[in-house]
């Protein structure tokens, strides 16, 4: 075991440092308030080695299911394309085409993570989907219907802020990344994409307080039209955030 200390740089900074320092081929994280099943590492390795070596370079990860403390499945199961209960896909297709939701857990190849670091120039928290979606545009994942992680419900409440504007930078950046790179999936989940367009305005309004509201402009015409369409909703969400903060 190696222990590495650094000053607080948010989860993104700790994650990037861990990836840089890692000596292994595969990189797996586990939050301190969760646990995994006793044979989780063995099963993850088994699934990885079951991917034919001839195509394994096209894959970056193996991802499994999570259950709560009582053994109840958290979120949805994956669709399957084999009798062994797995499917080869990516996080974008899993989200938009198959509408799979809920907590999942697995590893990524260390070399891939080094090529797709979390942006440390974005202030505060950055949603993890920014990195997973970028990887999904290049690599495949083997999704397995096997519970490997025990998720303790309610622990996320400890870090939830009453002020959504506190994470304005990261969420505005995330909304831009989704709109710019994923809008072509809109036909499969238009409601979700419209919500993201509203959040783009919502969190950029919060950034007026920090004079960073011109960060991460949209370049594609379709995302810009979606943001214009949902502008009233985004402004409304912003005012609700302010009301919640005062309350």
Same domain, 133 and 173: no
DSSP one-letter string for 84-133: TSEEEE-HHHHHHTS---S-EEEEEEHHHHHHS---TTS-S---THHHHH
Which strand (E) or helix (H) includes residue 57? none
Same domain, 128 and 170: no
Number of domains into which the chain is organized? 2
Within 10 A of 169 (CB to CB), how many other CB atoms are there? 24
CATH number where 45 lies = 3.90.550.10
The one-digit pLDDT tens for each residue of the chain (247 residues) are: 889 999 888 889 999 999 999 999 999 998 888 899 999 999 999 999 999 999 999 999 999 999 999 999 999 999 997 777 899 999 999 999 999 999 999 999 999 999 999 998 888 788 999 999 999 999 999 999 999 999 887 655 444 556 777 778 889 999 999 999 999 999 999 999 999 999 999 999 988 766 555 677 899 999 999 999 999 999 999 999 888 888 6
Within 10 A of 198 (CB to CB), how many other CB atoms are there? 23
Task: From 234, 142, 163, 245, select the one nearest 194 (Cα to Cα).
Answer: 234
* Whole-prediction pTM: 0.89
């Amino acid at each position: 075991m190696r222990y590495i200390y650094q000053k607080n740089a948010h989860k993104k900074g700790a994650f990037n440092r861990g990836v840089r320092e890692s000596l292994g081929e595969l990189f797996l994280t586990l939050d301190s308030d969760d646990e995994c099943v006793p044979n989780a590492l063995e099963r993850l390795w088994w699934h990885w080695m079951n991917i034919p070596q001839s195509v394994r370079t096209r894959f970056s990860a193996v991802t499994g299911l999570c259950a709560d403390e009582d053994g109840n499945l958290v979120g949805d199961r994956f669709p399957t394309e084999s009798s062994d209960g797995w499917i080869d896909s990516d996080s974008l297709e899993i989200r938009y085409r198959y509408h799979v939701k809920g907590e999942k857990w697995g590893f990524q190849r260390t070399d891939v993570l080094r090529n797709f670091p979390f942006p440390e120039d974005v202030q505060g928290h950055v949603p993890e989907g920014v990195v997973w979606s970028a990887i999904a545009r290049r690599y495949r994942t083997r999704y397995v219907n096997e519970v490997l992680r025990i998720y303790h419900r309610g622990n996320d409440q400890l870090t939830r802020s009453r002020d959504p504007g506190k994470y304005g930078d990261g969420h505005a950046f995330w909304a831009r990344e989704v709109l710019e790179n994923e809008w072509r999936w809109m036909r499969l989940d238009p409601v979700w994409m419209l919500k993201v367009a509203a959040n783009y305005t919502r969190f950029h309004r919060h950034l007026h307080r920090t004079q960073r509201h011109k960060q991460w402009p949209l370049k594609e015409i379709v995302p810009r039209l979606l943001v214009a369409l949902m502008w009233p909703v985004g402004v409304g969400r912003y005012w609700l955030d302010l009301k919640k903060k005062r309350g």
